[in-house]
């Protein structure tokens, strides 16, 4: 799972600027603290027993982000907005990286601070 975690983390790392980064050996997260008094999660990678979960919270806040997603990527997404991986899948990782970029383009933390 270390390799899966490392590759999924590498999807988020280039976008860390402007986010509060939390990093541990089994956890990497980007949180938006641009609104005084609020911390809003953008994305995280969490290594668990037997899988690595990739949380992309904008897919929960803005479900339309999932409109163009392949059925393969959609199939591993849970209702909580995270994707579970048990192995490296270059095709799905490439699609996930594109989804992260789209989520960043539409990211508006003010609309989620309530």
pLDDT at 21 (0 to 100): 95
For the chain, domain boundaries: 2-105
For 2-105, CATH number?
3.90.1150
Residue 39 has pLDDT above 80, yes or no: no
| Secondary structure of the chain in HEC code, one letter for each residue | CHHHHHHHHHHHHHHCCCCEEEEECCEEEEEECCCCCCCEEEEEEEEECCEEEEEECHHHHCHHHHCCCCHHHHHCECCCCEEEECCCCHHHHHHHHHHHHHHHHHCCHHHCCC
**Mean pLDDT (whole number) for 3-28:** 95
**pLDDT tens digits, 46-66:** 999 999 999 998 998 888 999
| pLDDT at position 94 | 96
């Amino acid at each position: 799972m270390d390799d899966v975690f490392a590759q999924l983390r590498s999807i988020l790392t280039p976008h860390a600027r402007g986010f509060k980064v939390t990093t541990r050996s089994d956890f990497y997260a980007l949180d938006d603290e641009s609104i005084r008094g609020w911390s809003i999660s953008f994305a995280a990678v969490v290594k668990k027993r037997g899988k690595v979960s990739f949380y992309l919270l904008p897919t929960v806040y803005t479900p339309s982000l999932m409109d163009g997603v392949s059925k393969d990527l959609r199939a591993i997404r849970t209702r909580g907005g995270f994707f579970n991986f048990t192995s490296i899948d270059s095709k799905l990782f490439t699609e996930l990286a594109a989804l992260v970029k789209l989520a960043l383009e539409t990211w508006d933390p003010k609309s989620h601070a309530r």
